[in-house]
Amino acid sequence: MPEITFRQAIHDALVEEMRRDSSVFLIGEDIGTYGGAFGVTAGILDEFGRDRVWETPISEETIVGSAVGAAIVGMKPIAEIMFMDFLTLVLDPLANQAAKVRYMFGGKATVPMVVRMPSGSGTGAAAHHSQSLETILMHIPGLKVVAPSTPYDAKGLLLSAIRDPNPVCFVEHKLLYKTKGEVPNGEYTIPLGVADIKREGTDLTIVTSEIMVHKSLSAAEDVSKEGISVEILDPRTLLPLDVDTITNSVMKTGRLLVVHEAVKTAGWAGEIMASVSESPAWDYLDAPMRRLTGKDVPIPYNRFLERAAVPQEEDIVREIQAIVSNQY
């Protein structure tokens, strides 16, 4: 299988679906001539022209609001919010309109749209351009939230997201764009709402997503030298959440750690832990469930502080060791 970058995988999914389905179009800031802030849409304007690649003024509300309208009347818009931080600007069209239309019209209207949103810290972009706000989206019934960690998942999930009749928020962690992975040629889809075991293990389950999957994989490799066997589970879709796969894994290992970059308070780690508590897996827990998350602070600009604000590989290693050695 050819190895391509995460960015390329998303680019390919967009192009392939635009070729396959003429109702698919892109809308966002600087996505045409400039190719997008992270280069994801480079070259798409040349192939599809301005009818299919809509460049907008700096108004996220316009981008998403237009997309919602277009979707309701049968188009399949793919909107790009340059940074996930601007999500707060688009919550009305997204949360109050897109998420509700299908319900309020008894299923007679659907909103088949995708909002792509680069997330996360690690680029020195400071507090306004570094947040992980997926939990806000997870709290809105009617939305779907997808957060891939590999090029393979990104392409397969994006195709499913575009074809889904509901508004799907597609979260792309900035640090993933340059990561590489094997992606098969040609079309394939990954169903939404299905988790993936990224590494099998027996001593501890780590539920994690996006860039933290990679940090957790490195940490798991580290502790494997001490004989600790870590299972790494990537939900891939945060809403709806694949609770069964998570609880099955916890039943197997008896220990749970949730790692995410989003801040701790009201973060989705709590949702995972609560789901496990409610499940039969509770009876199999042999240690308190733990979460390792971003600190409850805006992401600092100072690069040392920025690094300290979110979990790093060494933090994950320490946490794994502490849980497995019964320190909690």
List residues bridging with 115 in a β-sheet. 79, 169
CB of 281 to another protein, least distance (A): 9
User: Can you list the pairs that 243-249 forms with residues at least 24 positions away whose Cβ atoms lie under 8 Å?
Assistant: 243/275, 243/279, 245/194, 245/195, 245/197, 246/195, 246/205, 246/207, 246/272, 246/275, 246/276, 246/281, 247/275, 247/276, 247/279, 247/280, 247/281, 248/281, 249/197, 249/205, 249/207
Nearer to another protein, 46 or 286 (CB): 286
State the alpha helices, DSSP H only, in 31-190. Answer: 44-48, 60-72, 91, 99-104, 134-138, 151-163
- Using CB under 8 A as the binding rule, whether residue 105 contacts another protein is answered as no
Q: Which window, 64-72, 83-91, 283-291, 293-301, contacts another protein (CB under 8 A)?
A: 283-291
Q: Where are the beta strands (DSSP E) in the chain?
A: 3-5, 24-28, 53-55, 76-80, 114-119, 144-146, 168-173, 180-182, 196-199, 204-208, 230-234, 237-239, 256-263, 290-294
Structure tokens at 142: 């009617």
List residues bridging with 321 in a β-sheet. none
Among 34, 188, 282, 301, binds another protein (CB under 8 A): 282
Our answer to whether residue 306 is catalytic in this structure is no
Task: Report the site for another protein in 237-276 (rule: CB under 8 A).
Answer: 254
- Using CB under 8 A as the binding rule, whether residue 227 contacts another protein is answered as no
Count of residues binding another protein (CB under 8 A)?
Answer: 10
- Using CB under 8 A as the binding rule, whether residue 301 contacts another protein is answered as no
Q: Which window, 114-122, 182-190, 195-203, 284-292, contacts another protein (CB under 8 A)?
A: 284-292
Among 3, 187, 286, 314, binds another protein (CB under 8 A): 286
- Using CB under 8 A as the binding rule, whether residue 328 contacts another protein is answered as yes
Structure tokens at 17: 């679906």
CB of 287 to another protein, least distance (A): 6
Q: Which window, 181-189, 197-205, 210-218, 285-293, contacts another protein (CB under 8 A)?
A: 285-293
Q: Which window, 113-121, 206-214, 231-239, 278-286, contacts another protein (CB under 8 A)?
A: 278-286
150 contacts: CB under 8 Å, gap ≥ 6: 6, 179, 181, 213
Nearer to another protein, 89 or 285 (CB): 285
CB of 37 to another protein, least distance (A): 47
CB of 207 to another protein, least distance (A): 18
The rounded distance, in Å, linking the Cα atoms of 296 and 293 is 9
**Catalytic site residue from 11, 129, 214, 260:** 129
Our answer to whether residue 11 is catalytic in this structure is no
Instruction: Using CB under 8 A, list all residues that contact another protein.
Output: 254, 282-287, 326-328
State the catalytic residues: 60, 129
